[in-house]
Amino acid sequence: MAMELGAGYISKALLQNLVIPEIAKRLAGKAGEKGAKLKDIDKPEWLRKIGQWLDDHPVGTPEKVEKIINAHQEKIVRELTEHKGELSDLGQQIFDVVNELKERIDNAQLTGEDKAFLAEVKKNFDPDEFEKRLEKILKKNVDVDSQKIHDELTIFFNNMGWDDKLDVIDSKLDLVLKNISEGIEDIKGRLDRIERSKRIEIRYLPEAPPDVSDFVDRETYLDDLRNRLAKKNTIVIQGIAGIGKTQLAARLKKDIESEYVSFWKELRDVDTFDSVTRNLAGFLRKNRDSELAEYIEDGATDHDTIITMLLGSLENKNYVLFFDNYHVVENKEIHDLFKQFKDRLKGSTIVITTRNPPPFVQIDLDESNITEKGIEGFELEATKVYLEQMGVNVSEEQLTEINRRMGGHPLSLSMFVSVTKNKKGEMEAGEILNKLPKKGRLEKYLYNNIYERLNDDEQRVLEAISVFRTPVLLDACVYVAKGGNVKKTLILLEEKLLVKEKGDLYYLHDLIRDFSYNLIDDPKEYHRRAGEYYAQLEKTPENILETTYHMIKDAGVINNEVISYLIDAPEDFYTSMVVFDILLGHTDIKSNKIINLLNKLVNVDNLNVLQSFANNLGDLFSKLNKKDRKYIFELITELLKKDNPQILTGIVRSSGIILRSDPEPMLPILGKLFSEKSPLDFYIIQYIVESQHYTDETVALLKKALDRYRKKGNLSYKMALEALKRGGIEVEVEEYIIPINQLKGKTTDELIETLDRLIEEGKDVILDFSILILNQIAEESPEGTSKLLKKIVGLSNDSITRLFNIDKVLAKVIRNSPGLIEPFIYDDNIFSKFVGLRALDLIKQERPDITKEFVTPLIDDSDQLLQCMAKITLEEVEENVGEQTKPVGGIIDGIKIVSKFMKNHQMVYNALRGQVSLTEPRQFYTAIWIFEKSIEKSDPEKIVRILDALGLENPTIKNIVMWFIGTTKGHPVGMITIFDKIVLIRGTLDDKFAGISVIGELGCLAPQKACKILKRYNRDDEYSFIREFALWALIKIYDPSPEEAEKYLRDFLNDPNENLKIIADVTLNGIGIVAAA
């Protein structure tokens, strides 16, 4: 849909395009003068303001501005506005003054300086370049009112004093509008054709529930369930395997057909959010509601919108939706969907069958919308009725023994009947009963006795069906069983109660399927034929999963056949993610066509796919043979051309695995990314350190890092230094020790003065140590503390985690001295504003008045991210969030869901990491902000809005983040366990940094558990910088839980690193303030 552009917008865009190159030229000229101050730039006055701003912000040095301008003269607008760090603020400064100039033009109030400047711009006016810029701007809107644009641009350029250029401007405008008009129909046609080729078609093939003609007993259960349909929106039928859950649900569906419109779906472990919601969209379309189906068919994928539309379509329709076998679901997004049903569905009912409590049911909370119905075995009388109905006669004594031994279990009774089916008389049943094992699995014994009595055709067909994971058509059974009258054999197996049929589909109960499959000597041939059968079908994501599952079961590896099949798969996002899952989910790839598939994936026009690809390059690399690995570097080259921060981050993260195996081709790539003050430098150094690969190239790069970061002495410097020492490389270093003797025994004023001087040196360890001391004196010296915190913020744009220590100290200051927040809130530095806002957030419960007063102006800030955070903070003030909001999720959600991902935890972890760019400090800040909010009692749905403000709209990530926020507060021990098992267990430096930091934050909620994990890194870790991370994590815990953390902190008093000893000592014993004379 075109954005509505008015002439005012167009004239503004044109003005920016015309005058910014002139501004850039003047800045570059002044920047090139040795020792120049940009505030001394020539007129006009407003341009001098930009120079003054640059002089005051050392990151945006004149030299850097000149370099960017000279290198990117043609792209100056984009470079100034999109370049990360301080220069993005510079772009905003320039746009602000240009907008002020536009206002003066609109009002015909140009100053003499303005006129002189615009006259200089007019001298360089290039009509052809103007045409290009105008066309680019107007193409953003095909519905522009051409006459209105003519009239308003005429007035605008007249006011600029460009009346002699009006003929040229008018003619160019006419030409551009004509070109756009002529091209638009062709473009629309091509777009329509492309969209139609990518269009998803929602088709509804109703699933039939199993036959219930032999249904016995359960009338009490049925009556109870029928009564609850009108009262509850979710009904859970729960029981052990084979107890009759599916039969009960199917009978309920049959009984209510005259009262309700119903839907039936058997869930599978391969189901996803998309497969479930598409089934429901098809069901709704069949019932004359096509809105959701059309939305999905148009290519829309936003999960929140789909859920909202789905709930709206189901509301007050009296639909009953049955979902069988919920216990097989592993997909987090499906759990989230059903939680939304439970929380928000009105006027329709969800019925699920499951062996285990579903994760979305919180057993510790009052669930007014949900009811659980546990299913037990038949009572004695029902067992008797069932056996009589099946034609098996037994004595009262035998009946009692059967019921006792089998517990009324319907599947066991069914198999018992099958064994006795060809026997006559009471003695035969008694004989079988006597042979039943006293201990062990009755079902297995009974099945083995059944299997022995089957003929060859019956055994072959049963084995063939057992390889399928889902119900299948007769065609599939015939294709895989090969030979004989398969249909007739299936009928015989149904009569023997082994095969079940629902509609046109045949299937086995899970237990019978497992037993049958385990009796096959070599299932590969069956899997080969099953793969061939599925490969003939349409390449839907579900069919792709089934096809490759059987192909890999047959071959034992991902071979050429699998890869050739995947190469021809559709290119939509969902299918691409399925392909990644297949590649990463199997150990061995033995195919000379894998590079063809990877080439196809790297050229998919979907940023989310490319980000995931980049993050998993290392794992893909490790699966390839030596010959194919070289092509990974060509793919990396293609990805680098995308120039996307998340993709660059993924490449650097993947480099850790690649460096350990094949460092030579990877090092030049990292060398190019190791640019001046790049946020990626830290990670590049980290992976080189971890690879322990010492060549001339790595040593040169590490030495370059030493020189670059020597002054700050930051973590990059420490890692490079330790790596060089371990490699036996001699380096001249002077270890910096915290000058503790200059700080102890001082008055508060003297301490503030000394810290002020030390902070000027910019050493990282001093900045962090100063925050520790300021935390101890904040209430005694609020003004001095505030001043130094402000200075530290200005030196910490490359250390986002430090900002979250600063805000806690600042919160102490402003509780009683609220005016001291103003230098932070009203600063130009966005991170000062972030720190100020977060400090106000921390005191919102005890001082809501202060929070409201200073946060309210921020909701109109030009920065959307800050706006969103401010709005959330104000909403929480009104709701008194800390007292009332319950955490969402719970340990059932957490442990159960994540434990199911354990087998593929690397993919899950990378999915989360892949959404945060290491080159974008604002994204990194937001990630930590979300984590901090998760420790509070914040509403997940409210907090997750921040992802939209940041441009991270991936619905999967939103759902995971919502679960994380909701679970953390309620179950910190479980969450710490998850981080320990998923992150720290990997053992890489990257994961240690992340895991230790997170566990330190969570330690305020579960100090004992956190401290025990952190103890591993107190003295045992080989790297001192990891021990330093563990120390700061323990210090976070020490403030709220001193007794628990103290014994672990004392270990650091004997650490070989002098600075760690000093930090631990000051934490435990204080800095030792003396009273003023």
Where are the chain's structural domains? 7-194, 219-376, 379-453, 454-537, 557-708, 740-884
Residues 6+ apart with CB under 8 A from 985: none
Asked whether residue 529 carries a pLDDT value surpassing 90, the answer given is: yes
Q: What is the pLDDT of residue 476?
A: 92
Task: Report which secondary-structure segment, H or E, holds 234.
Answer: strand 234-238
Q: Do domains 219-376 and 740-884 have the same CATH topology?
A: no
* pTM: predicted TM-score of the whole model, two decimal places: 0.52
pLDDT in tens, 109-137: 888 877 887 887 787 777 777 777 676 66
Distance CA 111, CA 873 (A): 43
Above 80 in pLDDT, residue 765?
Answer: yes
Instruction: Report the mean per-residue pLDDT for the chain.
Output: 77
Give dist(CA 306, CA 696) in Å, integer. 55
Q: What is the pLDDT of residue 198?
A: 45
Sorting pLDDT into bands at 50, 70 and 90, what band is 59?
very low
**pLDDT for residue 774:** 95
pLDDT band of residue 63 (cuts 50, 70, 90) is: low
Calculate mean pLDDT across residues 592-600: 88
Question: Which helix or strand (DSSP H or E) is residue 472 part of?
Answer: strand 472-473
Nearest to 652 by CA among 684, 611, 695, 696: 684
Q: Which of 107, 98, 116, 111 is nearest to 18 (CA)?
A: 98
From residue 104, alpha-carbon distances to 13, 41, 100, 148, 156 in Å are 15, 22, 6, 21, 11
Question: Residue 588 has what DSSP assignment?
Answer: -
| AA letter at 639 | L
> Tens digit of pLDDT for each residue in 324-373?
988 888 778 888 899 889 888 888 999 998 877 777 775 333 455 666 55
Q: What is the pLDDT of residue 454?
A: 82
Cα dist. 179→138, 172, 860 in Å? 11, 11, 39
Q: Cβ distance 587 to 597 under 8 Å?
A: no
- Unique residue bearing structure tokens 């010296």: 781
Beta-carbon neighbour count of residue 78 at 10 Å? 11
pLDDT for the residue numbered 880 = 66
Q: What is the pLDDT of residues 803-835, one digit of tens each?
A: 888 999 999 999 989 999 999 998 888 889 999
663 pLDDT higher than 90: no
d(C-alpha 391, C-alpha 92), whole Å:
85
Helix (H/G/I), strand (E/B), else coil: 230: coil
Domain 219-376 belongs to what architecture? Answer: 3-Layer(aba) Sandwich (3.40)
Exposure string for 121-146, b = 16+ CB within 10 A, e = fewer: beeeeeeeebbebbbebbbebeebee
Instruction: Match 């509403």 to its residue by tokens.
Output: 939
Side-chain half-sphere exposure of 848, counting CA atoms within 13 A: 10
pLDDT at 819: 93
What confidence tens digit (pLDDT) does each residue in 778-809 have? 989 999 999 999 999 988 877 778 888 899 99
74 pLDDT more than 70: no
Over residues 253-289, the pLDDT tens digits come to 888 888 899 999 988 876 788 889 988 999 998 888 8
pLDDT of residue 146: 67
Can you spell out the DSSP letters for 792-815?
HHHT-TT-HHHHHHHHHHHHHHHH
Cα 315 to Cα 445: distance, rounded to the nearest angstrom: 49
Q: Rounded to whole angstroms, what are the CA distances from 571 to 200, 322, 704, 983?
A: 12, 32, 43, 32
Q: Decide if 146 contacts 177 (C-beta within 8 A).
A: yes
DSSP for 94-106 reads: HHHHHHHHHHHHH
pLDDT bin (cut points 50, 70, 90) of residue 18 is confident
Q: Which of 215, 257, 221 lies closest to 236 in space, CA to CA?
A: 221
- In the structure, what pLDDT confidence band is assigned to residue 895 with cuts at 50, 70 and 90? very low
Q: How many CB atoms lie within 10 A of CB 975?
A: 27
pLDDT at 62 over 60: no
Tokens at 333, concatenated: 């997004």
How would residue 647 be classed by pLDDT, with cut points 50, 70 and 90?
Answer: confident
| pLDDT tens string 172-196 | 677 766 665 555 455 445 445 444 4
User: How confident is the model over 199-254, as pLDDT tens digits?
Assistant: 566 777 778 787 776 666 667 778 778 888 877 888 888 775 666 788 888 888 88
Q: Are 164 and 44 in contact (CB under 8 A)?
A: no
What's the CATH class of domain 454-537? mainly alpha
Percentage of residues of the chain with pLDDT beyond 90: 18
For tokens 């371990």, what's the residue?
726
Segment 696-717 shows an average pLDDT of 85
Q: Region 562-577: what's the mean pLDDT?
A: 83
**Strand 234-238 with 349-354, pairing:** parallel
1043: number of CA atoms within 13 Å, CB side? 1
Higher-confidence residue of 854 and 144: namely 854
> What class has domain 740-884?
mainly alpha
Number of neighbours of residue 813 by Cβ within 10 angstroms? 22
Note the pLDDT tens digit of each residue in 294-327.
888 776 677 878 888 899 899 888 899 999 988 8
pLDDT at residue 396 tops 50:
yes
